[in-house]
């Protein structure tokens, strides 16, 4: 579904991605983990076409997105929903108003927009918060609205950058449930950037470990857990003397 091939990206001559290659199976959840500064957000932003890689390819359903421009690029972007790192909702818009934003940009007419926003509020379990402003919502509720907004235009891919980083374990669960519903009910392919191994354990099928702009480990979570040399396994399992 998504194939990243040998992606490189530098900022002011400093390499941040040093040839990253990844595969994400259609309808699966890939977790990208790694220390702060490893290049996780840059990778997610490149895959979302918010940042142009210096070289390499990003194929979604076989089409290399880095080769596109103009209308084709805009259409490709619509296939990719993004939950950016940090608090990303517009403060002056209600929950429903935030979710409606991508639909307004796409020119979806009012009645259709309202029914779509209703479906998305239902998907994230926040129908009763439609008229609330971000400041009136909890951190977890804000992130669920951000996920609903990312799903509004019906993307086939969802990228979430540290969607639970500011949340306590209980609230984290509610956001993960929403990501899992997106995969299970909408068939969306999910790439989630996280430093929280609990997120990996709960929803990821596959894991990629990024260090200094390189993938140093990549595989099925179940296989990695069984491999005593795996960094993922040692991060997930309690140490044994």
Which of these ranges, 35-43, 72-80, 131-139, 145-153, lies near Mg ion under the rule CB under 5 A? 35-43
| Part of the chain binding Mg ion (CB under 5 A), chosen from 15-23, 41-49, 151-159, 217-225 | 41-49
Q: Is 38 left (phi over 0), alpha (psi -120 to 50) or beta?
A: alpha
* DSSP assignments along 164-217, one per residue: TTTS-HHHHHHHHHHHHHHHHHH--EEEEE-S-HHHHHHH-SEEEEEETTEEEE
Binding flag, residue 82, ligand ADP (CB under 6 A): no
- Contact between 194 and Mg ion by CB under 5 A: the answer reads no
Q: What is the DSSP letter of 135?
A: G
Stretch that binds Mg ion, among 22-30, 39-47, 54-62, 171-179 (CB under 5 A): 39-47
Q: Does 41 bind ligand ADP (CB under 6 A)?
A: yes
Which one among 39, 56, 140, 155 touches ligand ADP, defined by CB under 6 A?
39
Closest CA to 98 of 67, 50, 130: 130
Q: Is 41 in the site for Mg ion (CB under 5 A)?
A: yes
State the nearest-atom distance from the C-beta of 162 to Mg ion, in Å.
6
- Which of 6, 25, 26, 37 is in the footprint of ligand ADP by CB under 6 A? 37
Of residues 38, 146, 204, 209, which one binds ligand ADP by CB under 6 A?
38
13 binds ligand ADP (CB under 6 A): no
**Residue 195 main-chain phi, psi, to 5 deg:** -110, 5
Distance between CA 232 and CA 217 in Å, rounded?
8
Scanning the structure block, which residue is given the tokens 């899992």?
Answer: 180
Residue span binding ligand ADP (CB under 6 A) among the ranges 36-44, 94-102, 125-133, 199-207: 36-44
The full DSSP string for 23-55 is EE-TT-EEEEE--TTSSHHHHHHHHTTSS--SE
Provide the minimum distance between the beta carbon of 109 and ligand ADP in the complex, in angstroms, as a whole number. 37
Site of interaction with ligand ADP (CB under 6 A): 11, 16, 34, 36-42
């Amino acid at each position: 579904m998504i194939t990243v091939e040998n992606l490189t990206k530098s900022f002011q001559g400093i390499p941040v991605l040093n040839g990253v290659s990844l595969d994400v199976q259609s309808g699966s959840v890939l977790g990208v983990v790694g220390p702060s500064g490893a290049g996780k957000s840059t990778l997610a932003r490149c895959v979302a076409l918010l940042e142009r890689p210096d070289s390499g390819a990003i194929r979604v359903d076989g089409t290399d997105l880095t080769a596109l421009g103009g209308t084709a690029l805009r259409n490709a972007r619509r296939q990719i929903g993004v939950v950016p790192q940090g608090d990303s909702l517009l403060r002056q818009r209600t929950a429903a108003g935030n979710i409606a934003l991508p639909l307004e940009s796409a020119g979806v007419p009012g009645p259709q927009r309202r029914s779509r926003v209703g479906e998305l509020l239902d998907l994230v379990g926040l129908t009763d918060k439609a008229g609330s402003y971000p400041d009136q919502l909890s951190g977890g509720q804000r992130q669920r609205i951000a996920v609903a907004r990312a799903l509004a235009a019906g993307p086939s891919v969802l990228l979430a950058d540290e969607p639970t980083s500011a949340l306590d374990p209980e609230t984290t669960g509610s956001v993960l449930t929403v990501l899992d519903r997106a995969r299970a009910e909408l068939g969306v392919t999910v790439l989630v950037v996280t430093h929280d191994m609990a997120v990996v354990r709960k929803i990821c099928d596959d894991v990629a470990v990024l260090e200094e702009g390189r993938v140093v480990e990549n595989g099925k979570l179940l296989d990695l857990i069984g491999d005593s040399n795996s960094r993922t396994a040692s991060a997930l399992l309690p140490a044994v003397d």
